[in-house]
Amino acid sequence: MTELAELPATPGAARTQGRPRSSRAHEAILEAVLDLIEEGTTVEALSMEAIAARAGVGKATIYRRWAGKDELLLETLVKLKGPPTQPVGDSVRADLIRLLSVVGQKDQRAVRVMPCLMPEVSRSPEAYRIWQEAITEPRREVMREVLRRGVTTGELRADLDIEVTVSMLISPLLLHRMVRWNPRLDEVDDLTEQIVDVVLRGVAG
Amino acid sequence: MTELAELPATPGAARTQGRPRSSRAHEAILEAVLDLIEEGTTVEALSMEAIAARAGVGKATIYRRWAGKDELLLETLVKLKGPPTQPVGDSVRADLIRLLSVVGQKDQRAVRVMPCLMPEVSRSPEAYRIWQEAITEPRREVMREVLRRGVTTGELRADLDIEVTVSMLISPLLLHRMVRWNPRLDEVDDLTEQIVDVVLRGVAG
DNA sequence: CCGATACGGAACGGAACCGTATCGGAATCC
DNA sequence: GGATTCCGATACGGTTCCGTTCCGTATCGG
């Protein structure tokens, strides 16, 4: 493998001398972690040796960047999901359907990885915090904004509890796409629309 | 520890001779598995040695009953949850609130164990099947019955999709109590009532 | 060009765990 | 009482992984 131009992997560290760290190796390591988890390796069962082998990297290259498996996993968790889908500003109903229809559909890998991270999230406060800040909270905030707009336009009830409504909208889809909690929902083709319509009728202004 | 009267642990096996298997040891092993998971051991990281030590049992005693870790875990999964809560037959609203208020509250240990089982459930079809048959499906069926009754009495819409409604009722509570998906719901004290009321208003007859 | 650092790869000692075997003792049936 | 099986405990060889250290090479700044 020919090494091309590399970007500094840790720009904060003022390293002046010597060969800079390969951002290519950095990315390959994070990708290897996600690949292995997606293929069925539990987070606990992830071995640094398997990660290094999959990434085509020496173990020392990993330990040079992260103190241990925990630190590596936290960085991987943040990388897992990009920015949330944005609403377009149509009707509340159309925006909600737009936001919800991508739950567990945009990134198939994330769907497979998330259940494997649940043990970490429920055990480690640090993993829970990062999961919340990087993944769930930004997505809730987008949906809150849509609901707030609905309240100001009068489409939705003024005394609406936004947090509860957000949870009611997302939870059924999340649980279905992540762990297939109720397999019978596989056969429902307009699931998102049904959920949105029931909730909107329940919280109409 | 004095060994008292023992029940046959595997009544199907027609064993006539020798010392019978200790049901005390049987129970201790299953309890040890649940204890260890509750304390934060991942299913994958569970070691037979730790289970034996916690149960106060020799490793051979475990291997005498189960072929390996997988079989032991499946039996543990079935044991985890008892029969579901039953409705009393009041109004649909009261029954739904009754059923939902125990989600993740009756057995605190189950709440901590379930997220740790998610990787198994999403990876192994056998674990998924047992999880569905022994845990989720019986609870859905109880709630379906309540909803069907509501349809016949006219409280609920006749063309109601029961599967979707069941998921809409349970999912927000399940996700909150299991993984605390939205921590802001901690401060909502009438969460169950809010959810039931929004859904019922959405699917009213 | 030279010093410094990173690279992939291989090897290391130590630790944990697997599944089996064996021990002396205990419980039960015939 | 004798045969049989299970009991908890311990030891075993084999495997996997950890985190470190060492190669020879590659890539940077000065």
Residue count (chain B): 205
User: Is the pTM for the entire model greater than 0.95?
Assistant: no
What is the Cα–Cα distance from A23 to A55, expressed in whole angstroms?
12
Residue B144 or B74, more confident: B144
Across the range A194-200, mean pLDDT stands at 98
pLDDT for residue B171 is more than 60: yes
Residues with CB under 7 A from strand C: A 9, 15, 17-22, 24-26, 28, 56-61, 64; B 2-3, 5-6, 16-20, 45-50, 58-60, 63, 68-69
Residue B145 Cα to chain centre, angstroms: 19
What is the Cα–Cα distance from A90 to A146, expressed in whole angstroms?
10
List the single protein residue with the shortest CA to C1' distance from D5: B18
- For B57-92, the pLDDT digits (tens) are 999 999 999 999 989 998 998 888 878 999 998 899
pLDDT given at position B6: 38
Q: Cα separations (Å) of B39 from A52, A119, B33, B54?
A: 30, 11, 10, 12
pLDDT given at position B80: 84
Taking only Cα atoms into account, the Rg of chain B, rounded to an integer number of angstroms, comes to 21
Question: Choosing among B130, B166, B182, B188, which should be mutated to test the A contact, i.e. which has the most A CBs within 10 A?
Answer: B182
- For A71-107, the pLDDT digits (tens) are 999 899 888 887 899 999 889 999 999 999 999 888 8
DSSP code per residue over B123-167: H-HHHHHHHIIIIIHHHHHHHHHHHHHHHHTTSB-TT--HHHHHH
B170 phi-psi bin (left φ>0, alpha ψ -120 to 50, beta other): alpha
Angle at which helix B191-202 crosses helix B162-179, to 10 degrees, equals: 160
pLDDT given at position A30: 97
Give every CB contact of residue B89 below 8 A, 6+ residues apart in sequence: B95
Could you tell me what percent of chain B has a pLDDT over 90? 67
Question: Choosing among B38, B39, B108, B168, which should be mutated to test the A contact, i.e. which has the most A CBs within 10 A?
Answer: B168
Angle at which helix B137-152 crosses helix B162-179, to 10 degrees, equals: 140
Least confident residue range of A18-32, A180-194, B31-45 = B31-45
- Kindly list the residues from chain B whose CB atom is less than 8 angstroms away from the CB atom of residue A115: 118-119, 121-122
pLDDT given at position A32: 97
- Kindly list the residues from chain B whose CB atom is less than 8 angstroms away from the CB atom of residue A203: 198, 201
**Cβ-contact B84, B138 below 8 angstroms:** yes
pLDDT for residue B124 is more than 90: no
* Closest nucleotide to A18, Cα to C1': C5
Least confident residue range of A57-66, A120-129, A177-186 = A120-129
User: CA B52 – C1' D10 distance (Å)?
Assistant: 13
**Cβ-contact A80, A133 below 8 angstroms:** no
What is the Cα–Cα distance from B96 to B138, expressed in whole angstroms?
15
What is the Cα–Cα distance from B119 to B30, expressed in whole angstroms?
20
What is the Cα–Cα distance from A85 to A142, expressed in whole angstroms?
8
pLDDT bracket for residue A16 (50, 70, 90): low
Angle CA A114–B171–B198, to nearest 5: 140
What is the Cα–Cα distance from A117 to B169, expressed in whole angstroms?
25
